[in-house]
A and B are shown apart, each in its own frame.
Chain A
């Protein structure tokens, strides 16, 4: 009696998987279609006359390597920044008592809920005054701190029993050593997973970079897609899909490698 009911739910879940995966298949299949096929034979996932033309055209028209490098640079800077500030802040909260600690913590947590638009204009002006427009650093600088990182690290650090830290203190191991040789190694799994999530999100970011990066040579991959949405000349859909497919390669690799970490660490960010 139990067996039949079970399949019903699986049917629903598989439909959701199809909904999640089909657009990806559609994207990849269109990246191998000719422009005429993408209009003519919309429905068949297997291209009628598959071609590699979009990828070679893409490489000729746009400096793929340069774009990927810009995106990689930005994503790495943002990730390293967020990890560093997250770790240091969490450690401060974890092992010290000081005046106004709760207040400062609440301020940090509330930054998650600040809408991006309220800091948009002033940050834009700051970056342009610092002459960092069209510069990857200009994009990365305002994003070097993320409260989610602080929360996750704090939660994982709270799991470290005080006895461990006290034991180290008794052997008068200096603070710095405690931080790097005890705290960080224990946090390695959550550092890896949080880092992977920060990297992927920053890799795919579109809104803030569009305000800062105006010159094609400084574009990141999501912005390069704009090149192909120009309505004046008509959208070259297959070309855009080729770029989209290339864009997801690195996040997919990171996901496959760290998938176990990522899926578990997301739980920490939520657990109250």
Chain B
């Protein structure tokens, strides 16, 4: 009696999570995969089997091609704004200043207390290209603000800036504390050897910090694409002409606006595969690298 319990006790602890994951994650993924082979508008009783047409459409339809390109642009912006920028600032706060580190941590984190809807509304107002306060100030200085809501690229830039306003603080702290795990006397040793700080950071600190950096990088991309959903939905709803939509938002548009669940599911599966590849890189890179520095 005794060891039988012991054997399946751990599974009892895992039960609640397992049930939730099966019902709300694993089965849904399979169901979406199933849906991606049909054409259905969510209400009609019958689903029409269309085979691979939806997947074909994902890559052939010009709008989808544009959306995939947009997603790459988003990723570039997200990596630069939500990963490289906070990483650079965390290096500055960690190695180049001695006072007020605590104060910066506290203040940088405050924007992440806000909902992105609020961020989107405030910034749409401030950045109104014709009559916003920023446009007004720039006009006095002689610069006329471009109408960002008409061009896909500019709209993406604005949306990524708004998301950056909220996400910067969180990533900054994640990376800063990651740097904390580096023994202090390495910095002293380098100082005595007359090694410039940036050189030390490039040759020693960054390689050592690779584990958490890769984790945050991939998190930034994966969660970043889902964070930008809110500003897109509030400001441009994907416009002008899908110029600011990305694969995540297009999946929503197809599903809950145009009621083309087939296309939406196919897009979702393709996005999922891309994220899996990113996850695979993270696990292989981070797990292997972290092992031999421990």
* Interface of A toward B, CB cutoff 8 Å: 6, 9-10, 12-13, 16-17, 19-21, 23-24, 26-27, 30, 42-43, 81, 84-85, 88-89, 91-92, 96, 98, 104, 106-123, 126, 141-142, 144-145, 150, 175, 200, 203-207, 210-211, 221-222, 225-226, 229, 235, 237, 240-241, 244, 247-248, 251-252, 255, 259, 262-264, 266-267, 269-272
Contact = CB atoms under 8 A, between A and B. Distances in A.
A81 to B, nearest CB: 8
B100 A270 contact: no
A210 B116 CA distance: 14
Contacts of A42: 132-133, 136
B222 A112 contact: yes
Given A17-B108, A123-B24, A113 B121 contact: no
A43 B133 CA distance: 6
B279 A20 contact: no
B197 to A, nearest CB: 11
A9 B286 contact: no
The A interface, classified by DSSP as helix, strand, loop or mixed, is helix
Contact of B271 (A110, A115, A222, A263): A115
Interface size class of B (residues with CB under 8 A): 35 or more
The 10 closest A-B CB pairs, nearest first, are A267-B177, A122-B28, A204-B115, A92-B13, A96-B10, A117-B251, A119-B28, A272-B211, A142-B24, A244-B118
Contact of A206 (B25, B113, B116): B116
Contact of B268 (A9, A19, A115, A221): A115
Nearest to B119: A23
Given A10-B100, A26-B133, A27-B122, 6 more contacts: A42-B133, A85-B17, A88-B14, A89-B17, A237-B121, A251-B113
A48 to B, nearest CB: 14
A20 B89 contact: no
A118 B29 contact: yes
Given A113-B279, A120-B255, A270-B212, A255 B11 contact: no
B272 interface: yes
B174 interface: yes
Contacts of B80: none
Contacts of A98: 7, 10-11
B14 A9 contact: no
A269 B223 CA distance: 15
Given A85-B17, A89-B14, A271-B212, A255 B113 contact: yes
Contact of A270 (B165, B216, B226): B216
Contacts of B225: 115
B138 to A, nearest CB: 12
Interface stretch (B51-59, B90-98, B151-159): B90-98
Contacts, number: 256
22 contacts: A6-B96, A6-B98, A9-B96, A12-B92, A23-B126, A26-B122, A81-B20, A85-B16, A98-B7, A108-B21, A111-B25, A115-B271, A117-B271, A119-B29, A119-B32, A121-B42, A123-B24, A150-B17, A235-B121, A241-B122, A263-B105, A272-B215
Nearest to B20: A145
Contact of B177 (A120, A204, A210, A270): A270
Nearest to A223: B117
Contact of B25 (A9, A114, A226): A114
A75 B276 CA distance: 29
A119 B20 CA distance: 13
Contacts of B261: 121
Contacts of A229: 121, 234
B160 interface: no
B189 interface: no
Contacts of A222: 115, 117-118
A267 to B, nearest CB: 3
Contacts of B9: 96, 175
A23 B121 CA distance: 10
Contacts of B200: none
Contacts of A251: 113-114
A144 B110 CA distance: 26
Contacts of B113: 200, 204, 248, 251-252, 255
